[in-house]
Amino acid sequence: MNALEIIGRKRDGREHSPEEIEFLLSGYLKGDIADYQMAAWLMAVCIRGMTRAETLALTQAMVRSGEVLDLSGIPGTKVDKHSTGGVGDKVTLIGPPLAAACGVKVPKLSGRALAHTGGTLDKLESVPGLTVDLDPDRFIRQVREVGIAVAAQSPHMVPADKALYALRDVTGTVPSVPLIASSVMSKKIAAGADAIVLDVKFGRGAFMPDVAAAEELATEMVLLGEGAGRRTVALVTAMDTPLGRSVGNALEVQEALDALAGKGDEELVKVSLVVAREMCWLAEVGNDPDDALRSGAGRAKFLEMLAAQGGQIERGLPVAPVQIPVAALSDGYVESIDALEVGLAGLELGVGRKKKEDPVDHAAGIVIQAPVGARVRAGETLAVVHARSDELARSVMPRLQKAWRLSAREVKRPPHVLARVDKDGVTRAG
Ligand code: URA
């Protein structure tokens, strides 16, 4: 067996054995297989695809590349939640605390901002004093005592994904169903929860272009989870328009706090409740997340989690020195807000990173004032840009003005959750 032979097999559309996949992955991690060879194989996978058996073998080989978290010390069913990445997606800051307030144990390992999409760790780190670097003992203790912890993955877990993801990011090989499915699910399996709720996004602001691709990815991930003995449910949700009213780290933490206080954007609250209900259902917890929202128990649980991780929310969230409105260029009803353009504007402002080593600006971002369906007149405010300088804020204005599409006719907000996928198949909403 050698790398050239394996690359050639995939180039010619043939199926790998689990041994071939193990050989390739372990060889790459040991440095015996070069970046250019792995990149050639990844591109062959993007073009030729992988069978379900190959994707499972790749996922298992990735899990074996590092440590697996043992959560058996936490009583009850542990439920994790994962989003494939979106713009303004702060559901993790709302749904899981609601589920935890209902009694679900939530051990959640999260990621950082990726391309134009936001990262939960960066959002949480906007809270003064908060740490996302919890060692396994502290992480497990917090889940046992508080019911929820959101932390960074240890570098010893799934090192294969770290190496492969960095290579995929710079070789145009991110958008591939088997590569995304194995990347996400290897991390979820290694993180040790008994059950997983996945939020698979599609549309302008997501990695999956359309609902069909998202359903395919969701199905693949559900079957990988179930194959590893984890009960797994996926929701397929739209990401053409940013979710909720804000894009930015501190801005999204504030929006989550507001939503948990009953003052949230309707769609954002709806999606968060659907996620929380699925988590409760998987954990066989009878309490209702709606009650946790109404009573404020979900908000109290979120605050308890922030405090347990050293967060001092009472010191206030960072605020950008410059806040400038973006004005509508004409009259009309907001038909759509391009999530990709808003995400890219956020990236320019420092919400995410252009290079791995870039710092993020926790205060920067965009607050939407005219959501889909709103009626605006020329000159009225579509959004407010929060930035560290006037020049930077003004530089993203044209992009944001382009992101808002106005229509002469009244517009209804489209539904956000389009399908639910479990081991028995896809159920379309409505
Ligand atoms: N998120 C991941 O963790 N991996 C991917 O490949 C894409 C999104």
Q: Evaluate if residue 356 carries a pLDDT over 80.
A: no
Query: What's the CATH code of the domain at 10?
Result: 1.20.970.10
Does the beta carbon of 237 lie inside 6 Å of ligand 1?
A: no
**End-to-end Cα separation, the chain, in angstroms:** 51
* pLDDT tens column, 232-260: 999 999 999 999 999 999 999 999 999 99
Q: Is residue 174, in this structure, part of any structural domain at all?
A: yes
The Å distance, Cα 176 to ligand 1 centre, comes to 10
Of all protein residues, the one whose alpha carbon is nearest to atom 3 of ligand 1 is 184
Q: State the average pLDDT over residues 8-15.
A: 97
Amino acid 24: pLDDT = 97
Cβ neighbours of residue 347 closer than 8 Å, sequence gap 6 or more: 115, 116, 353, 354
Same domain assignment for residues 108 and 191 = yes
Q: Evaluate if residue 103 carries a pLDDT over 80.
A: yes
Q: State the average pLDDT over residues 12-39.
A: 97
Same domain assignment for residues 256 and 327 = no
* pLDDT tens column, 266-289: 999 999 999 999 999 999 999 999
Question: DSSP for 332-372?
Answer: EEEEEE-HHHHHHHHHHHTSS-SSTTPPP-TT-EEEESS-T
Does the beta carbon of 153 lie inside 6 Å of ligand 1?
A: no
Same domain assignment for residues 125 and 271 = yes
* pLDDT tens column, 215-225: 999 999 999 99
Q: Evaluate if residue 355 carries a pLDDT over 80.
A: no
Between CA 1 and CA 210 the distance in angstroms is 38
Q: Is residue 272, in this structure, part of any structural domain at all?
A: yes
Of 16, 112, 168, 277, which residue is the catalytic one? Answer: 168
Same domain assignment for residues 204 and 328 = no
375 labelled catalytic: no
Same domain assignment for residues 380 and 262 = no
Of all protein residues, the one whose alpha carbon is nearest to atom 5 of ligand 1 is 180
Q: Is residue 254, in this structure, part of any structural domain at all?
A: yes
362 labelled catalytic: no
Q: State the average pLDDT over residues 59-81.
A: 95
Question: DSSP for 198-237?
Answer: EEEEESTTSSB-SHHHHHHHHHHHHHHHHHTT-EEEEEEE
Mean pLDDT of the residues in the chain: 95
Q: State the average pLDDT over residues 183-211.
A: 94
Amino acid 147: pLDDT = 97
**β strands within 245-306, DSSP E:** 246-248
Ligand 1 pocket mutation, candidates 183, 186, 208, criterion most atoms within 8 A of CB? 183
The sign of the torsion formed by the CA atoms of 209, 212, 216, 222 equals positive
Same domain assignment for residues 97 and 242 = yes
DSSP 146: T
Helix (H) or strand (E) holding 420: strand 417-422
Which residues is 56 bridged to in the sheet?
none
Residue 429 pLDDT class (50, 70, 90 cuts): confident
Same domain assignment for residues 269 and 333 = no
Helix (H) or strand (E) holding 374: none
Task: Specify the pTM.
Answer: 0.93
Between CA 386 and CA 248 the distance in angstroms is 9
Ligand 1 pocket mutation, candidates 173, 174, 199, 239, criterion most atoms within 8 A of CB? 174
Q: Is residue 67, in this structure, part of any structural domain at all?
A: no
Amino acid 1: pLDDT = 85
Q: Is residue 61, in this structure, part of any structural domain at all?
A: no
Q: Evaluate if residue 207 carries a pLDDT over 90.
A: no
Same domain assignment for residues 252 and 348 = no
Query: What's the CATH code of the domain at 285?
Result: 3.40.1030.10
For residue 1, the one-letter residue type is M
Question: What is the tally of structural domains in the chain?
Answer: 3
Residue 172 pLDDT class (50, 70, 90 cuts): confident
- Whole-angstrom CA distances from 374 to 169, 265, 300, 399 are 37, 13, 32, 20
Cβ neighbours of residue 362 closer than 8 Å, sequence gap 6 or more: 122, 125, 126, 249, 250, 317, 318
Q: Is residue 429, in this structure, part of any structural domain at all?
A: no
CA nearest 188: which of 214, 226, 215? 226
Does the beta carbon of 182 lie inside 6 Å of ligand 1?
A: no
Same domain assignment for residues 242 and 104 = yes
Amino acid 385: pLDDT = 98
Q: Evaluate if residue 114 carries a pLDDT over 80.
A: no
- Whole-angstrom CA distances from 172 to 41, 302, 401, 412 are 12, 37, 29, 36
Q: State the average pLDDT over residues 191-215.
A: 94
Same domain assignment for residues 339 and 300 = no
Between CA 15 and CA 282 the distance in angstroms is 34
Helix (H) or strand (E) holding 287: none
Ligand 1 pocket mutation, candidates 180, 182, 220, 224, criterion most atoms within 8 A of CB? 180
Residue 125 pLDDT class (50, 70, 90 cuts): very high
Of 10, 90, 123, 187, which residue is the catalytic one? Answer: 187
Same domain assignment for residues 143 and 287 = yes
Does the beta carbon of 180 lie inside 6 Å of ligand 1?
A: yes
Secondary structure (3-state) at 299: helix
Q: State the average pLDDT over residues 168-195.
A: 93
Q: Evaluate if residue 115 carries a pLDDT over 80.
A: no
Between CA 90 and CA 107 the distance in angstroms is 17
Q: Evaluate if residue 155 carries a pLDDT over 90.
A: no
Does the beta carbon of 184 lie inside 6 Å of ligand 1?
A: yes
Q: State the average pLDDT over residues 398-408.
A: 96
161 labelled catalytic: yes
Same domain assignment for residues 308 and 336 = no
Q: Is residue 412, in this structure, part of any structural domain at all?
A: no
Question: DSSP for 80-118?
Answer: EEEE---SS--GGGTHHHHHHHTT-BEEEEE---BTTB-
Between CA 332 and CA 269 the distance in angstroms is 26
Domain that holds residue 183: 79-154+162-314+417-423
Residue carrying structure tokens 């409505």? 430
Q: 410 is written with which tokens?
A: 């009244």
